[in-house]
Amino acid sequence: MPAADHIKLEAGWKHALRDEFDKPYMKALGDFLREEKAAGKELYPPGALIFNALNSTPLDQVKVVIIGQDPYHGPGQAHGLSFSVQPGIATPPSLLNIFKELKRDLNIDIAGHGCLQHWAEQGVLLLNTSLTVERAVAGSHAKAGWQAFTDRVIEVVSAHQPHLIFMLWGAHAQKKQSLIDPTKHLILKSVHPSPLSAYRGFIGNGHFSRANKFLIQHGLAPIDWKLPAL
Q: What is the pLDDT of residues 153-196, one digit of tens each?
A: 999 999 999 999 999 999 999 999 999 999 999 999 999 999 99
Please say if the pLDDT value at position 2 is more than 80.
no
pTM of the model: 0.97
pLDDT for 66-78, tens place per residue?
999 999 999 999 9
Helix (H) or strand (E) holding 22: none
Question: What pLDDT, on a 0 to 100 scale, did the predictor assign at position 7?
Answer: 84
Number of Cβ within a 10 Å radius of residue 203:
18
Query: Minimal CA–CA distance to 217: which of 192, 185, 188, 194?
Result: 185
C-beta of residue 172 within 8 angstroms of C-beta of residue 150: no
CA–CA dist 77, 154 (Å, integer): 24
Q: Indicate the pLDDT class of residue 4, thresholds 50, 70 and 90.
A: low
Determine contact, residues 151/179, Cβ cutoff 8 Å. yes
Q: What does DSSP say about strands 64-68 and 165-169: parallel, antiparallel, or unpaired? A: parallel
Query: Which pLDDT does position 54 carry in this prediction?
Result: 98
In whole angstroms, give the CA distance from residue 173 to residue 69.
Answer: 7
Give every CB contact of residue 216 below 8 A, 6+ residues apart in sequence.
222
CA dist 89 and 48 (Å) reads: 19
pLDDT (tens digit, 9 = 90+) per residue, 8-44?
Answer: 999 999 999 999 999 999 999 999 999 999 999 999 9
Show the beta-strand stretches assigned E in 85-228.
124-128, 133-134, 165-169, 186-190
* Catalytic site positions: 70
Q: Identify the pLDDT of residue 118.
A: 98
Q: Looking at residue 17, what is its pLDDT?
A: 97
Distance CA 164, CA 158 (A): 8
CB of 22 closer than 8 Å to CB of 3: yes
